[in-house]
Structure 1
Amino acid sequence: MADTLRPFVYWGQKTDQIFLKVDLRDVENEVVKLTESGLTFNAEGFGVRGQNYYSIDIEFYHPVDPEESKYRVLGPCIEFQIKKSGDGEIWPRLTYDKIKMPWLKIDFDKVAYEDSESEKEEKNVDHAEYMKHLEKELLSNRDIEPFPDVKTCYLFVYNLVQFVGFTYIFTALTYHCVRDVHFAFSNTMEIAGTQMLFVQLAAVLEIVHPLLGLVKSSPLPAFMQVTGRNFVLFIVVGQEPRLHQTSVLLILFLVWSSIEVVRYPFYMLSVLGKKNDLITWCRYTAWVPLYPLGFISEALVIVMAIPYYEQTEKFSVFLPNSFNISFYFPWFLKSYTAVFIPAGYFMMSTMYKQRQKACKSLKLFGTKKE
């Protein structure tokens, strides 16, 4: 399968057992087939290339006993304990073929022999020779990570650009608030308007990414958030200069940028197949106070805009006209505010479910890994 990736697999042994640790988190739909000659494993999870479908296929150096072997799925990994067949002996390698596999590493926590000295002597194991082999393999395992593919580079650069943009907006607005809060309230668009227009326009790509299969997520939450923000920014605020000097606009920009300065670093790590517990916790916790505040701020901006658009009649269409239709934009804004309740509930319930799944294995603030 072209889309199948290999997770990192760490292995160690005793004279009678093989230990495997598959570096794959949040595993779902795993399929395990262990025979005397080998192991086949397929699952979906979060590994070296982020959330994806991973597979391993190992032909063992010597036969094993599947009936006496076992495995368990943990939060951060999958562990195998495989019983060797026949008389116990130290294998010079895990695989039957002497082929270098960059995803297969030595687990040095599992190479320490737990047998007594007399047992080691009885099995006539040349420890010095074996440790030289381990040292040689360790040096050969210092591989340079392959250069990321085009998709990974693109997603990383996109998230980096968005992170820099929102960080500038948050920093600039915070600086002016500290320096002169009255100036910041009345000049929000002058301070960060251009940057906000740029990053929100670029955010349209977040609707396109899942549709093209670049990321594994539903396009609906991204569509609701991006279109909602852009409607408020480009249509409601962008076409009515009197809203540029309202204090609620400053609050709205600060809320939006606060959400994104923790969201995009999480995405940057994800596309590289990495995870940081603190960043993950912030990404799935910051929304708890910020999402409701953002919904309220957007609703206030729209309510404040209604009398302005009643005066200017901009975007309204009156009869008679060639299309024989009428449209009164202030009424649309009034009805649009009613959408915030179901839309807000959907967004927050989606984030709550994601938080339960993402944070269950974090070792942070008293949360224990499974």
Structure 2
Amino acid sequence: MARQPAKTLWYDRPRYVFLEFCVEDSIDVKVDIQDYWVIFSCKNVDGVEFYNKIDFYARVNSKDSQNKRSGRSITCFMRKWKEKVAWPRLTKENIKPAWLFVDFDNWRDWEGDEEVEKVMVEEYAELLQKVTHKDPPPTMDDLDDDDI
């Protein structure tokens, strides 16, 4: 079976560039973030292979970049090498691949918005930690058969 690119959303912030690879129930996820590119690959539960290689518009700090997997997607937040410089596009080439989309739900004009962005990144990281670390379900030993 041939591999295909995953639908990818992106948006820009003063310190970070965010990517979301939209693959539900992904397995065998591999994300390799380097200073000038990212390679993403995985499979879904149907065995379809996804592969994306993105050459960035500008340099990122790969050592201060992360990715998180959820049931619906894999999100990457990559720290910009030159902060507070807007990226007019994600890719090095001025050609938009058919699978790449601007995440308009998260896109906004961020000039003078550094503190808000920092808080949002911290809240997002905390939320992702909560999602990945679930407590065991309650035992429900205290219920009587009459309560059912």
- Provide TM-score, normalisation by structure 1: 0.29
- Alignment-derived partner of residue 38 in structure 1: 37
User: What SS does structure 1 have at the residue aligned with 2:105?
Assistant: helix
**Correspondences of 1:219-298 after superposition (within 5 Å):** none
Cα RMSD between the aligned structures?
1.8
Q: Secondary structure at the match of 1:109?
A: coil
Question: For 1:85, which of 73, 78, 81 is the aligned residue?
Answer: 81
Compute the displacement of 1:112 (Å).
1.8
Amino acid paired to 2:91: T
SS in 2 for 1:31: strand
Aligned to 1:149: none
Give the superposition deviation at 1:102. 0.4
Aligned 8 A contact 1:63 1:85 in 2: yes
Name the structure 2 match of 1:98: 94
Q: Give structure 1 stretches of 5+ with no counterpart.
A: 120-370
Q: Deviations over 1:267-315 (max 9, x none)?
A: xxxxxxxxxxxxxxxxxxxxxxxxxxxxxxxxxxxxxxxxxxxxxxxxx
> d(CA) in 2 for partners of 1:27 and 1:115?
35
Cα displacement (A) at 1:100: 2.5
- Tell me the TM-score normalised to structure 2 length: 0.71
Match of 2:145 in 1: none
> Which of 1 and 2 has greater Rg?
1
What does 1:107-126 align with in structure 2 at a 5 Å threshold? 107-114=103-110, 116=112
Match of 2:10 in 1: 11
| Counterpart contact for 1:26–1:75, Cα < 8 Å | yes
- 1:38 is displaced (CA, Å) by 0.4
Taking the aligned partners of 1:19 and 1:87, their CA distance within structure 2 comes to: 14
Report the structure, 1 or 2, having the larger helix content: 1
Unmatched runs of 5 consecutive residues or more in structure 2:
115-148
1-structure distance, mates of 2:74, 2:38: 13
Cα offset for 1:110? 2.0
1:130-150 CA-partner distances (Å, limit 9, x unpaired): xxxxxxxxxxxxxxxxxxxxx
Structure 2: how far apart are the matches of 1:90 and 1:69?
A: 18
Give 1:14's aligned amino acid. Answer: R
Q: Give the partner amino acid of 2:17.
A: I
Tell me the percent identity: 24
In structure 2, the partner of 1:24 is 23
How many residue pairs were aligned?
114
C-alpha deviation, 1:72, in angstroms = 0.4
Q: Which runs of 4+ in 1 moved over 6 A?
A: none
Q: Report the residue type matching 2:98 in the other structure.
A: P
CA shift digits 1:232-262 (9 cap, x unpaired): xxxxxxxxxxxxxxxxxxxxxxxxxxxxxxx
Which structure: greater strand fraction? Answer: 2
